[in-house]
Amino acid sequence: MLATVWFVLITVLFIGFFFLEGFDFGVGMLLPFLGKSDVDRRVIINTIGPVWDGNEVWFITAGGAMFAAFPNWYATLFSGFYMALFLLLIALIGRGVAFEFRSKLPSKAWRSTWDWIIFFGSVLPPLLWGIALANLMRGVPIDASMNFVGSFWDLISLYSVTAGVSMVLLFLLHGSLYLSLKTVGTIREQSGKVALGVGAWTTVLMVLFIVLSYFETDMFTRHGVDPGTVPILAGLSLFSVWYFIRSHYMGWAFAMTGVTIVLSTITVFMSLFPRVMISSIDPAFDLTIYNASSSPYTLKVMTIVAVTTIPFVLAYQIWTYWVFRKRISPTDHLEY
């Protein structure tokens, strides 16, 4: 019972991470392209400046929660997807310090270098996350003692790369809509245009991913929980983005990419449940919420902590977005 609760809570943490850091990854990807002058770049960075670090904590917490609630899941996933995680951490390290370092020298070359680190540090994580999720859904070689026995290259396939690219595009779309909501003038107009172009490609890739999932996973044979209308609604919300952008309802368009992210994440986790990692060697070797979880006592303690703290976290993070709700203009005072 509590193991199910924790499966849901970890899903929630990933939803929070993908929804929130989704747009700040997208903004990071757009930085070198939409920022034509140094002030423009600072405007773009400042749209996420006060919040990106808090967004990233959703991921760190998801990792910690996995360790606490499903030690075997954490151990298998992190030692198994070793090289992917290594690349992810390098990307996040570069990106994290780049935000702090880039404005400390006036040199153009200095700033441009860090801006490109922000770009790559924003593209690589969603690409790797897409690849990781596709492999979670499809199954990876896991032996009887729960150890991953494949290599990094086993994780790379047409299917997983499609998932990675769709995730990059979805975050780019999410980020460009966020940027159009947080800026004025040229940047706002251009991010709207980017959203329209990227939206089409995101839809194409997502559809391709779903088609491939039919062949590559057991999602449609219902080993997990029947996701019912959830993936259909995810698809519909993605289609509606196009309509909202065309009608200049950017707020709605952003909300709809958010809904797409939330519902897609839910679909992935539902298709897994009650498994947390699928073994491609033998279904008997699958990691499930039963054989991977912590003891009932630990889960109880963790539930009490999570249930009492998450509402506060949500409250003060929402408050932060409220404090910084204004659009950012190049003529404003800009914090560097």
Q: State which of positions 32-91 bind another protein (CB under 8 A).
A: 32, 35-39, 41-42, 46, 49-54, 56-57, 60-61, 63-69, 71-72, 74-80, 82-83, 85-86, 89-90
Q: What residues contact residue 41 under an 8 Å CB cut-off, 6+ apart?
A: 31, 35, 111, 115
Distance in Å, CB of 305 to another protein, minimum: 5
x/- binding map, residues 314-333, to another protein, per CB under 8 A?
--xx--x--xx--------x
Q: Which is closer to another protein, CB of 281 or CB of 313?
A: 313
**Are 129 and 171 a contacting pair, CB within 8 Å?**
no
Q: Which is closer to another protein, CB of 23 or CB of 74?
A: 74
Q: Which is closer to another protein, CB of 107 or CB of 221?
A: 107
DSSP letters along 155-170, please? Answer: G--HHHHHHHHHHHHH
Q: What SS3 class is residue 276?
A: strand
Q: Which is closer to another protein, CB of 63 or CB of 274?
A: 63
Partnered with residue 288 across adjacent β-strands are 275
On the CB side of 76, how many CA atoms lie within 13 Å of its CA? 29
Distance in Å, CB of 123 to another protein, minimum: 17
Q: Which is closer to another protein, CB of 181 or CB of 306?
A: 306
Question: Distance of CA 173 to CAs 42, 127, 167, 291, 318, Å?
Answer: 20, 14, 10, 38, 22
Of 96, 16, 89, the closest CA to residue 48 belongs to 96
Sign of the CA dihedral running 224, 291, 14, 152 = negative
Find the binding residues for another protein in span 132-151 (CB under 8 A): 145-149
Distance in Å, CB of 298 to another protein, minimum: 5
Counting residues that bind another protein (by CB under 8 A) gives 82
Find the binding residues for another protein in span 228-247 (CB under 8 A): none
Q: Which is closer to another protein, CB of 20 or CB of 234?
A: 20
Q: Which is closer to another protein, CB of 215 or CB of 297?
A: 297
Q: What SS3 class is residue 277?
A: strand
Find the binding residues for another protein in span 263-302 (CB under 8 A): 294-295, 297-298, 301-302
Find the binding residues for another protein in span 87-116 (CB under 8 A): 89-90, 92-94, 96-97, 99-101, 103-106, 108, 111-112, 115
Q: Which is closer to another protein, CB of 116 or CB of 249?
A: 116
DSSP 8-state code for residue 331: T
Find the binding residues for another protein in span 2-31 (CB under 8 A): none
Distance in Å, CB of 252 to another protein, minimum: 27
User: What are residue 276's phi and psi, to 5 degrees?
Assistant: -115, -25
Distance in Å, CB of 115 to another protein, minimum: 8
User: What are residue 218's phi and psi, to 5 degrees?
Assistant: -100, 20
Taking the C-alpha atoms of residue 36 and residue 104, their distance in angstroms, rounded to an integer, is: 19
Partnered with residue 287 across adjacent β-strands are 277
